[in-house]
Amino acid sequence: MRVEFISGNEASAEGAMTAGLKVYVGYPITPSSDLFEYLSEKLPERGGIVFQGEDEIASINALVGAALAGAKAMTATSGPGLSLMAEGIGLACMVEAPLVIVDVMRAGPSTGIATHVGQGDIMQSRWLSHGPYNLVAFAPFSAQEAFDYTVKAFNVAVRLRLPVILLSDATIAHTRERVVIKESGEIEVEDFKRPTVPPEKYRFYDPDPRDLVPPMAFLGEGYYIHAESLSHDERGYYDTRPSVYRRLVERLVKKVERNKKSIVASKSYYTDDAEILFVAFGSVARSTLALVRDLREQGIKAGLFRPISIWPLDDEKLIEASKRAKKVVVVELNQGQLVEVIEDALWHHQRYDVEVLSLPMILSETPSPDEILDEINSKGWKLW
């Protein structure tokens, strides 16, 4: 264990190395490039490989190959690069290749403002590829969490055999903070879920009925492995029968739901008696927390619910945090995306009594607490 003063990107890189990263393939893009640069210096010293693909499409596909060969694999990118990775991420979901993708969000749409921050990839991180599938996304709000949740992202990826996205943002990525770095042994690091049967009895997509995840043999070990992107049966053979397709797709979607308890993460602040519940994540949650503390000093019963897992959402904790809330204010650096997720969750739990207010901030900087307050005041909501 050691204490460092490093940026969110560097902390993610350290987290990946603690988790046992073996192969990094990426294509540089601001504001993620310094993560790539940091790893290119450090990972080879630890026996890993860092490789620059000719573009993001090549990079993500190379990672699928690396993962199927049993390497813990990662890339980092930003919105425009993530868009290019859409097909490869869908492929990883379908062939059940565990990967970690760090998406350092910048101001969009399109190439937007490369050096400025945004939080517009909430829906993209979940729905970027076509068809029915499921994946996991974590959003850190500090360099420490960038470390901790990169480790967790790898744990979940190998446990569930799917891609996990670390939804960081330019502000978190480039702010230096005190970070406690732990090595494997000091923090939980999970290994791939391995076959327990001999090669002749092994099927690449035969799930463990308890968690719906098929144990994973690696390419080149003597097991028969057919990584198939088309609809397939448990052996990986192409099969279009409705019953086979349904069994496959339902499992791909349900394996996240089934294992949700071990994935979800969130933090609540001053919510025991909060009548106004703020919801914010990533760098915006830092300013929102400061605002909530200001409001508390003025005697206003404000609280903050901060989702760390965005997909899936820690909805039980949200419901608990909102138990006394009359109004929920969702602050985010986009046109209003997280608000849809929060509203869905509240409605799902029959909390029709809560008024959900969207506070989208169309800025290319992380707003200060005063800017958030100004925006609230401009809405004329009369929250207090």
Partner 1 sequence: MEKARKYQIIIAGRGGQGILLAGHILGKTLVKKGYYVVHSETYSAETRGGDSRSDLIVTIGEEPDLIRIRKADIAVFMFDEQMERYAKWVKDDATVILDSTYIDKPTKNWSKIISIPFSKLAEEKVRNRRVANMVMLGSLSVITGLFEVGLLKEVVAESVKPEWRDVNLKAIDVGFEAAKEMGLG
Binding site for partner 1 (CB under 8 A): 3-5, 171, 174-178, 283, 286-287, 289-290, 293, 296-297, 366, 368-370
- Contact between 12 and 102 under an 8 Å Cβ cutoff? The reply is yes
CB of 278 to partner 1, least distance (A): 12
Nearer to partner 1, 129 or 171 (CB): 171
Closest by Cα among 96, 40, 84, 39 to 59: 84
| Nearest alpha-carbon partner for 77 in 139, 174, 165 | 165
Q: What's the rounded Cα separation, in Å, for the pair 235 and 383?
A: 58
Beta carbon nearer to partner 1, 103 or 169: 169
Pick between residue 25 and residue 35 the one whose CB is nearest to partner 1.
35
Nearest CB to partner 1, comparing residues 88 and 140? 140
Tell me whether residue 364 is exposed, middle or buried, using C-beta atoms within 10 angstroms of its C-beta: 0 to 12, 13 to 18, 19 or more.
middle
Closest CA to 309 of 187, 205, 160, 175: 160
Q: How far apart are CA 121 and CA 167, in angstroms?
A: 8
Left if phi > 0, otherwise alpha if psi is -120 to 50, otherwise beta: which for 344? alpha
Interhelix angle for 143-160 vs 8-18, to 10°? 40
Compute the C-alpha angle 151/154/156, nearest 5°: 110
Q: Which of 93, 174, 167, 175 is nearest to 129 (CA)?
A: 93
CB of 35 to partner 1, least distance (A): 16
R_g of the chain computed on alpha carbons: 21
159 vs 306 by CB, closer to partner 1: 306
Min separation Cβ 178 and partner 1, Å: 5
**Would you say 335 or 368 has its CB closer to partner 1?**
368
Nearest to 164 by CA among 337, 16, 373: 16
Helix (H, G, I), strand (E, B) or coil at 19: coil
- Shortest Cβ 373–partner 1 spacing (Å): 12
**Closest to partner 1 by CB, 259 or 283:** 283
Read off the tokens for 353: 């009594």
The span from the CA of 190 to the CA of 331, in Å, is 34
Instruction: Pick the closer one to partner 1 by CB: 43 or 289.
Output: 289
